[in-house]
Amino acid sequence: MSPNTQNDNQAGTSRKIKSGPRAIALVGPYGSGKTSLLESIAAITGTIQRKGSVPAGNTLGDASPEARARQMSVEVNTLCTSWLDEEFTFLDCPGSIEFLGDTLNILPGVDAAVVVCEPEPAKAVLLQPYLKRLSDAGIPHMIFVNKFDKARDSLLALLAVLKDVSDRPPLLRQLPIWDQGVATGFVDLALERAFAYRPHAASEVVDIADVRREKEARFEMLEKLADHDEHLMEELLTEVEPSRDEVFGDIRRELAEGQVVPVLIGSAEGDNGVRRLLKALRHDVPDVTVAAERAGVSGEPAVVVLKTMHGGHGGKLSLVRVLSGHLKDGAVLHGEGGRESRIGGIFALCGDRQIKRHAAEAGDTVALARLEAFNTGEILSTAKDGGGRATTEILTPVHRLAVAVKDRKDEVKLTTAIARLCEEDPSLRFEQNGEMQEMILAGQGEIHLKVALDRMASRHGLHLEAHPPRVPYRETIRKPTTARGRHKRQTGGHGQFGDVVLEIRPLPRGSGFVFEDRIKGGVVPKQWIGSVERGVRDYMKEGPLGFPVVDIAVALVDGSYHTVDSSDAAFQTAGRLGMSEGMPNCSPVLLEPIMRVKVHVPSDATSRVNALISGRRGALLGYDARPGWRGWDTVQAELPLAEVSDLIVDLRSLTQGVGTYEMEFDRLSELNGKLADQVVATRSAA
């Protein structure tokens, strides 16, 4: 066969011996085209006959109402398919950083990841949250520069930025062929062949037009490979041309060991370069034994749970990767703590379609039904002592909403629905705030929580009201006073009588509450001293400004009693009355929570973030390089909790969506002036 008639499907197929099923994650920022790439792969591998599109809302993935409405991925989509007699499962991960949790959950079970990006250098920083985590997890990964037919910048400009955002050196595998400023094909530097794109068809092998440039680019690729291969380095120094098998072997080994990140180009929309990507995955990605070793699995059949799904009438499904052994329907899987569940069905997933299977082998990615005892992130085994947990990053919530049902009869239903929602998406948190009497839903951003609320409506019929959580303000006093609380009531028979004198004084911030018994001569009998304290504490739940009182000392210094009419209730009432008489005279002041905040952003956004914090009444404490993150800073600041509720929205806007923060309570601080007046007025009107 002549070079001009050989096509992209046929070139180089003899290098690979068939191996077990692979699991490949498609990751990358929103808008890079991962869903379109999945659609292209499905069409090329024959899984679908006609490609859909994101704008038309008819893609294989993103079939949920929440994804269709937003034209964006909001959860992992799964495609089980085959290519050149090898089986693959592609896991298309959401691009928005708000759904990063779904991506992190599936990483322990994949063999490799394809990081999809656009050809614009300015957007390369968006890759770093993914490249960093893949590198830290030891997962082989390559970069697919999508939409290259629309590239406005040179590939070298993009590579220069990729070197800054990747912990591992990028390895250029393909050199674009340009015709009047448009990429019309590429040269495979390892294969030493040129390919011309054909719309929605395999690329055609053509002659290499610029041999000198191809030789230079190939030598640069070999030099990078030789950094980890002394034999190859020796060949280059002695001008010995390495064999093609040696070059491919180095690429395969160095990809698996995380020493290089191969870079390929193409356009999923036109199916350009996708077949070459599939061939690279087929030839170069290690098999499931490597993923099993990373997870610490060997011997008995074992799986790792990548995702949990609750269907309407289909019950619970657990998406798992079989890391070792042979798994049959009906087998019993064991986890930590003696828990076990029997498999109630095995299914291959293709978008929202389920294909029944009777068994699964090592390498398969399948959905198992009715694993009621287990959750995402667990490692399960047929051996009773073989369970464990995968190592995954736990994301800290950065956005919160107080939620409530519109109809009180749905409150019991709400608890069950939220539990299922959090089981499906562990990056969601549900908290009960007893003090504020609010149910708090916490997650990774505004869209993340809106999608959660939409799912509550579509899947559980629960339409929730949501608003920012109330701030737990406190109040204290600035000066001391003495007040009398006298409670006397005669109602026939036994009456009520309690009489106390209280000294109230402020304490240093953070001291809490101190009650002192300074009674002399038994003017208040000992059995009712505790009653007075309970009355004081009861009053402190809501002081003169309407908020819980902190950092005060109250001393019982005098009083009187009646041998018949005095009682526990009477002295509790007297204690409350003494506080209500005295507290307004102590110059009450409002206190607001101050949080210690660490904001993580790319360095070029640091100055903008400083201005954002200052504009929210924050106090900057300084910034430093973010440990382990090249080109990122961590800004430390103190920020009022009232200013944090929508911080993540502005922060993401300033950082192309990648900024994040973490916070912890630091102290209470006085709030004065108009802001304090507004808070008190709002409380009074409630």
Is the pLDDT at 174 greater than 60, yes or no?
yes
HSE-up of residue 552 (Cα within 13 Å, Cβ side): 31
Domain 475-586 has CATH 3.40.228.10: no
* 174-179 and 182-188 strand pairing: antiparallel
Per-residue pLDDT band at 153 (split at 50, 70, 90)? confident
Per-residue pLDDT band at 14 (split at 50, 70, 90)? very low
Tell me the chain's radius of gyration from C-alpha atoms. Answer: 33
Per-residue pLDDT band at 312 (split at 50, 70, 90)? low
Rounded CA separation 90/77 (Å): 8
**What CATH homologous superfamily does 13-286 map to?**
P-loop containing nucleotide triphosphate hydrolases (3.40.50.300)
Q: Which two tokens stand for residue 213?
A: 């440039």
| pLDDT tens track for 28-45 | 999 999 999 999 999 999
pLDDT of residue 9: 56
CATH topology of domain 299-389: Elongation Factor Tu (Ef-tu); domain 3 (2.40.30)
pLDDT of residue 15: 47
Per-residue pLDDT band at 314 (split at 50, 70, 90)? low
| pLDDT tens track for 228-257 | 999 999 999 999 999 999 999 999 999 999
Question: Backbone dihedral region of 681: left (phi > 0), alpha (psi from -120 to 50 degrees) or beta?
Answer: alpha
Q: Which of 493-497, 501-505, 583-587, 636-640 has the lowest mean pLDDT?
A: 493-497
Domain boundaries, the chain: 13-286, 299-389, 402-467, 475-586, 590-685
Domain 13-286 and domain 475-586, same fold? Reply is no
pLDDT of residue 319: 98
Sequential DSSP letters for 460-482: H---EEEEPPPP--EEEESS-EE
From residue 150, alpha-carbon distances to 83, 120, 145, 294, 344 in Å are 28, 10, 11, 39, 48
pLDDT of residue 151: 85
CA angle 313, 319, 321 (to 5 degrees): 155
- pTM for the full model? 0.91
What residues contact residue 640 under an 8 Å CB cut-off, 6+ apart?
592, 593, 594, 595, 616, 617, 618, 669, 671
- In 58-157, at which residue ranges do the beta strands (DSSP E only) sit? 77-83, 86-92, 112-117, 141-145
The stretch 541-545 carries a mean pLDDT of 97
From residue 161, alpha-carbon distances to 122, 126, 154, 237, 324 in Å are 8, 11, 12, 29, 39
SS3 state of residue 673: helix
| Residue 553 phi, psi (nearest 5) | -120, 135
Is the pLDDT at 382 greater than 80, yes or no?
yes
Is the pLDDT at 448 greater than 80, yes or no?
yes
Is the pLDDT at 13 greater than 60, yes or no?
no
The stretch 681-686 carries a mean pLDDT of 88
Reduced DSSP (H G I as helix, E B as strand, rest coil) percent helix, strand, coil of the chain, to 5? 35, 30, 35
| pLDDT tens track for 607-660 | 999 999 999 999 999 999 999 999 999 999 999 999 999 999 999 999 999 999
Return the CATH number of the domain spanning residue range 590-685.
3.30.70.240
Which of the 8 DSSP states describes residue 267?
Answer: B
Compute the mean pLDDT over every residue in the chain, rounded to the nearest whole number: 93
Displacement of CA 143 from its chain's centroid (Å): 21
**What CATH homologous superfamily does 402-467 map to?**
Elongation Factor G (Translational Gtpase), domain 3 (3.30.70.870)
Is the pLDDT at 547 greater than 80, yes or no?
yes
HSE-up of residue 677 (Cα within 13 Å, Cβ side): 2
Top pLDDT among 323 and 411 is at 323
Is the pLDDT at 402 greater than 50, yes or no?
yes
pLDDT of residue 19: 64
Q: Report the percent of the chain where pLDDT is more than 70.
A: 97
Q: Which of 59-63, 78-82, 487-491, 542-546 has the lowest mean pLDDT?
A: 487-491
Is the pLDDT at 313 greater than 70, yes or no?
no
pLDDT of residue 152: 78
